[in-house]
Amino acid sequence: MKEITYTITDPEGIHARPAGVLVKEAAKFTSKVIIAKDGKEVDAKRILGLMGLGVKCGQEIVLKTEGEDEDAAIEALGKFLEENL
Amino acid sequence: MKLEGKSVFSGIAIGKCKIFGKKDQVVKRSKVTDTDLEIKRFTQAKEQAKSQLAALYKKALKEVGEANAAIFEVHQMMLDDLDYVESITNMISSQGINAEYAVATTGDNFAEMFAAMDDDYMRERAADVKDISNRVIHILQGGSEQAGLGDQPVIILADDLAPSETVQLDKSKVLSFVTCHGSTNSHTAILARTMNIPALIGVDYPEDAEGHMAVVDGRNGVFLLDPTEEELTKYEALRQEEVEKARLLQELKGKENVTKAGRKIALYANIGGVGDVASVLANDAGGIGLFRSEFLYLETEDYPSEEQQFKAYRTVAENMAGKKVIIRTLDIGADKQVDYFGLEHEENPAMGYRAIRICLDRKEIFKTQLRAIYRASYYGNISIMFPMIISVDEVKAAKEMCATVQEELKSEGIPYGKVELGIMIETPAAVMISDLLAKEVDFFSVGTNDLTQYTLAIDRQNPKLDNIYDAHHLAILRMLQMIIDNGHKEGCWVGICGELGADVTLTDTFIKMGIDELSVSPSMILKVREQIRNSDAK
């Protein structure tokens, strides 16, 4: 399993639109992709759960990937977070 | 009958009311024997719902733009969400119930989860989940799409409008939106702003309003049901006035800010965040004359990092595509307080520890911001402006910090662009030494709000003094002339970014005094342009 920590800098947090894009990105990998905030974990391939986390600007999340392509996934999704959120 | 609400977009509408159908269908629970078939029914309805949403997305894309249309893509993804789908199929197979009931229950459960969140924006998303569920239920019940509005344009009354409902409306038949629920973040509000029509939320209209005449006054948040003849005449006149104004302003879009005698004035916009850039461009501003950087500090719980700030500045610079973006460095203190700065309570904060005074004292904060700005300058046309200046030494110290930052970036191999440096003139001291200050900088921007408060010794926050507060005070106008003359002698351009800059009764006076730039709120851009074009100043 791979994991990184990231602090959201988008002023709106993970609201509907970025959540949608993130889910699409996560779906490109076969690995399990988890986003966690304050110990609560959700499947990053499921939009309702992801939005339900209510991640706001300035909050820290942990991104975890587990599976065959976990290295590629963590790299791509980490980059995605930095560029978009 | 006069009802009050919260205005989400200004303007006046007069017309007949149309209550937009409450769509909360009655869903009955019933037993099914063939659960596989029931799951298949649901899956088919879901696929049909998705194709309807795909069509809506295309329609919205054309009508309201990509940002507003994106919600329909999100809706499609919600329909495919495994938590959502599994909840429904489990309910059908384990309880042997009909698909309609399983969808309605699941929709309610997810809506409740959003409704319980501590964030206005997320609470609004409860409506999205209900909306997609209602769509599926509607299809399962064999219904067709929403009926049209009729021939006459109407004022739409609704409990709240879901995005899928609003996008299906024939926009040419809608005069205004009035909803009982909803927030300033709701789709109704966003749509009203995009369509430029008045809208009110929080209006508890009576159910029998259907077909009655009404007036929506978006400027004062008033909904008049069955207005009197007198009220109708009054509002009709006001509406005409607004229509005329809107037409005039629309004609001015894309026109130069030039007087009849050929003098050109730079007309820029004031913004307080990245989100304001859209209205800057929509109103055709030539640049950003005041980018208040405080929002970065006010919206976070700790000092915003260099990276965070860099992203925001870069976004704005890139969106403005080479047009000038003047970033005012941190102006915290006085009436803008942030907990994590740990500022002590002051008896007289307007004259206290604030703005450049904090920056030159707590240099690490200042340096972080300047590094972020310089890095962003590589991506556009950025200028920096320092607030609350009272001495030449302050300007020299700030410039020194800029030089240090540039050295650092150079040695780190980080690119940056050419950055003009300017100061706010908002203290009487700065006015009196503007001849000396002009030797140090590229431009002056006059902050008339603070300058007036300090010059007249009138506290802006004390309503008792409103009657003697004179924004047109001769002292201010004389100071302005002095600032312009002193600036020009040293080759500085001079602008106004305070509220007075948008005072159209003074536009002609400012130009005659020699002003080079006016920076106003985005909604005032075209009104000021009209004044400039009417002026005969050389």
Domains in chain A with CATH codes: 2-84 (3.30.1340.10)
Burial class from Cβ neighbours inside 10 Å (0-12, 13-18, 19+) for residue B317 reads buried
Q: Which of B75, B138, B187, B359 is catalytic?
A: B187
Q: Which residues of A touch B307 (CB under 8 A)?
A: 9
Contact A17 B67 (CB under 8 A): yes
CA distance B284 to chain A (A): 25
Q: Which residues of A touch B119 (CB under 8 A)?
A: 13, 54, 56
Is A46 part of the contact surface with chain B (CB cutoff 8 Å)?
yes
CB B470 within 8 A of CB B503: no
What 3-state class would DSSP assign to B484? helix
CB B420 within 8 A of CB B377: no
β-strand partners of B443: B422, B493
CA distance A27 to chain B (A): 11
Q: Which residues of B touch A55 (CB under 8 A)?
A: none
How far is B282 from B180, CA to CA, in rounded Å?
A: 30
Residue numbers of chain A with a pLDDT score lower than 50: none
Amino acid at B239: R
pLDDT score at B24: 54
Strands (DSSP E) contained in B293-448 are 324-328, 381-386, 420-425, 443-446
Helical ranges in B362-518 per DSSP H: 363-376, 392-412, 428-432, 434-437, 448-456, 474-489, 507-513
For chain B, positions 132-151, list CB contacts with chain A under 8 A: none
How far is B383 from A3, CA to CA, in rounded Å?
A: 40
Q: Which residues of B touch A48 (CB under 8 A)?
A: 78, 81, 83-84, 110, 113, 129
How far is B435 from B437, CA to CA, in rounded Å?
A: 6
How far is B468 from B471, CA to CA, in rounded Å?
A: 9
**B79 φ/ψ sector (left φ>0, alpha ψ -120 to 50, else beta):** alpha
- C-alpha distances in Å from residue B436, one per residue of B217, B433, B483: 51, 5, 11
**Residue B117: which of A12, A19, A54 has the nearest Cβ?**
A54
How many C-beta atoms surround the C-beta of residue B262 within 10 A? 9
CB B160 within 8 A of CB B181: yes
Contact A54 B118 (CB under 8 A): yes
How far is B92 from B40, CA to CA, in rounded Å?
A: 11
Is B112 part of the contact surface with chain A (CB cutoff 8 Å)?
no
Selected for mutation to probe chain B from A23, A24, A48 (highest B CB count within 10 Å) is A48
Amino acid at A8: I
Is B187 tagged catalytic?
Answer: yes
**Residue A47: which of B71, B81, B308 has the nearest Cβ?**
B81
B411: which residues sit within 8 A by CB, 6+ positions away? none
Query: Which pTM does this prediction carry?
Result: 0.56
Cα B98 to its chain centre, rounded Å, is 45
- In this structure, the dihedral spanned by the alpha carbons of residues B8, B13, B14 and B16, taken in order and rounded to 10 degrees, is -60
Q: Which residues of A touch B275 (CB under 8 A)?
A: 11
How far is B224 from B216, CA to CA, in rounded Å?
A: 6
CA angle A83, B284, B519 (to 5 degrees): 90
CA angle A65, A71, A73 (to 5 degrees): 55
Cα B535 to its chain centre, rounded Å, is 30
A48: which residues sit within 8 A by CB, 6+ positions away? B78, B81, B83, B84, B110, B113, B129
How far is B495 from A75, CA to CA, in rounded Å?
A: 47
pLDDT score at B25: 59
| Digitized pLDDT (tens) for each residue of chain B, 538 residues in all | 899 998 888 889 999 998 886 545 578 888 888 889 999 999 999 999 999 889 888 888 887 777 778 888 889 999 998 889 999 999 999 998 999 999 999 998 888 888 888 777 778 788 888 888 988 988 888 765 555 566 788 999 988 777 667 766 777 788 999 988 877 767 777 777 777 789 999 898 988 888 899 999 988 899 999 999 999 999 999 998 888 777 777 788 889 999 999 999 999 999 988 888 988 988 899 999 999 998 889 888 899 999 999 999 999 999 999 999 999 999 988 667 788 888 888 888 888 999 999 999 999 999 999 999 999 999 999 999 999 999 999 999 999 999 999 999 999 999 999 999 999 999 999 999 999 999 999 999 999 999 999 999 998 778 888 888 888 999 999 999 999 999 999 999 999 998 899 999 999 999 999 999 999 988 789 889 999 999 999 8
Q: Which residues of A touch B83 (CB under 8 A)?
A: 46, 48-49
Is B120 part of the contact surface with chain A (CB cutoff 8 Å)?
no
Structure tokens at B206: 């009576």
**Residue B113: which of A17, A20, A52 has the nearest Cβ?**
A52
Is A27 part of the contact surface with chain B (CB cutoff 8 Å)?
no
For residue A24, give the chain B residue with the closest CA.
B77
Q: Which of A15, A32, A37, A46 is catalytic?
A: A15
In this complex, how many residue pairs, one in chain A and one in chain B, have their CB atoms less than 8 Å apart?
A: 66
**Residue A47: which of B67, B77, B302 has the nearest Cβ?**
B77
> Phi and psi (nearest 5°) for B97?
-110, 170
CB B115 within 8 A of CB B123: yes
Is A23 part of the contact surface with chain B (CB cutoff 8 Å)?
yes
